[in-house]
Amino acid sequence: MRNQKGVTVWFTGLSGAGKTTVAREVERQLKEKGYYVQRLDGDIVRQHLTRDLGFTKEDRDENIRRNSFVAKLLTQNDIITLCSFISPYRKARQTAREIIGEFIEVYVNAPLEVCEDRDVKGLYAKARAGEIDNFTGISDPYEPPQNPDLELRTDKETVEESASKVIEYLEEKGYINLPEDVLAG
Amino acid sequence: MRNQKGVTVWFTGLSGAGKTTVAREVERQLKEKGYYVQRLDGDIVRQHLTRDLGFTKEDRDENIRRNSFVAKLLTQNDIITLCSFISPYRKARQTAREIIGEFIEVYVNAPLEVCEDRDVKGLYAKARAGEIDNFTGISDPYEPPQNPDLELRTDKETVEESASKVIEYLEEKGYINLPEDVLAG
């Protein structure tokens, strides 16, 4: 038996809100402690699993469905799976939860102005200039979680603080640091 | 640490050759021993991950690429991953090996006549009647492995015999039953 129980931590939020940054820090800390962790990142996955898909609602939904299928495979094998996807539609995130089962919704919340001001990838500028269609927050909707399991205010807390919240939540819910007697059971 | 090292066992062969049947038996025996095992099956995956794809060479290649990406994620997390895909093209299987890394090619070999005679899913009859295009062995090529890691003659051996060969190979190569001193290292 492994000293961990499978779960998917689903980071949702605007582009530039810090989903990947926080997920990376959580990954780093958990791997340091010897846990099996797999990150699934929108930007990377779109080069492999879903490179045929664009950013229409239909394509976004299919993107989430495929990734949920993969996250489920990892989760059911007791991997801590960290998913960073904008996943702007409430219903698609609900579908992800239903497919995956063990699921923690983390709202990575920074105001649009902050994300746009950061504009790490230069995408907001392009979206404002009309060079990118269907850009979440600019020309496409973002439906914030109404009742997320966790909310991270990345405009007000450090990456380390956000990551700690996630790790503490995983401990609290018994996904990591399982006591010996549970493992033997 | 887990008492297992990640690897993908890739079953290739004609429809009806017994890929899924053998993979299921391997899965059953390994799970009974407490190993983490994940099967990826062409028929199932096509309902989720690759339901947009057909059976042209291009679509088959994309099917293998996506599944290889998923198998890699599982394998790098030390899951024993059992893939059952016709995967008729030598080059696509080579690509799978390159993507995944730890990779065992298993040629599930039964003569076409035997597979056609079994015709479990009634597909050969339909292919002969011209109701299915691009059917491997009938209207589409199958390129047998030239130097597979393992060959199973499912027309001459029982499912149990085939499964035992796979499990013995996994032990021999050190993917399962790792001794304590290796685990501590």
Q: What is the ipTM of this complex?
A: 0.92
Domain layout of chain B by residue ranges = 7-176
> Which residues lie below 8 Å from residue B25, measured CB to CB, with a gap of 6+?
B159, B160, B162, B163
What is the predicted pLDDT for the residue at B131?
95
CATH classification of B7-176, choosing from 3.40.50.2300, 3.55.50.30, 3.40.1360.10, 3.40.50.300? 3.40.50.300
The confidence band for B47, taking pLDDT boundaries of 50, 70 and 90, is: confident
What secondary structure, in 3-state letters, does chain B show?
Answer: CCCECCEEEEEECCCCCCHHHHHHHHHHHHHHCCCCEEEEEHHHHHHHCCCCCCCCHHHHHHHHHHHHHHHHHHHCCCCEEEEECCCCCHHHHHHHHHHHCCEEEEEEECCHHHHHHHCCCCHHHHHHCCCCCCCECCCECCCCCCCCCEEEECCCCCHHHHHHHHHHHHHHCCCECCCHHHHHC
The CB density around residue B64, as the number of other CB atoms within 10 Å, is 26
For residue B179, pLDDT over 60 is answered with no
Pick the residue of A33, A35, A49, A76 with the most B CBs within 10 A to test the interface with B by mutation. Answer: A49
Task: Judge whether residue A179 has pLDDT over 70.
Answer: no
User: For residue range B25-46, what is the model confidence (pLDDT) as tens digits?
Assistant: 999 999 999 999 999 998 888 8
Q: What is the pLDDT of residues B165-176, one digit of tens each?
A: 999 999 999 999
Q: Which CATH class is domain A7-178?
A: alpha beta
**pLDDT grade for B64, boundaries at 50, 70 and 90:** very high
pLDDT at A102: 98
A87 is catalytic: yes
pLDDT at B180 (0 to 100): 53
Interface test with A, best of B31, B45, B48 (most A CBs within 10 A): B48
B102-124 pLDDT, tens per residue? 999 999 999 999 999 999 899 99
Q: Is the pLDDT at B185 greater than 50, yes or no?
A: no
User: Is the pLDDT at A89 greater than 90, yes or no?
Assistant: yes
- The confidence band for A178, taking pLDDT boundaries of 50, 70 and 90, is low
- d(CA B102, CA B20) in angstroms, rounded, equals 20
Which residue among the candidates B68, B84, B87, B162 is catalytic per the annotation? B87
> For A45-88, how does the pLDDT look when each residue is reduced to its tens digit (9 = 90+)?
888 899 899 999 999 999 999 999 999 999 999 999 999 999 99
Number of A:B CB contacts under 8 A?
43
Asked whether the predicted pLDDT for residue A185 surpasses 50, the reply is no
Secondary element (H or E) of residue A169: helix A159-172
Q: Is B46 on the interface with A (CB under 8 A)?
A: no
pLDDT digits (tens, 9 = 90+) for A121-171: 999 999 999 999 999 999 999 999 999 999 999 999 999 999 999 999 999
Q: Closest residue of B to A49, CA-based?
A: B66
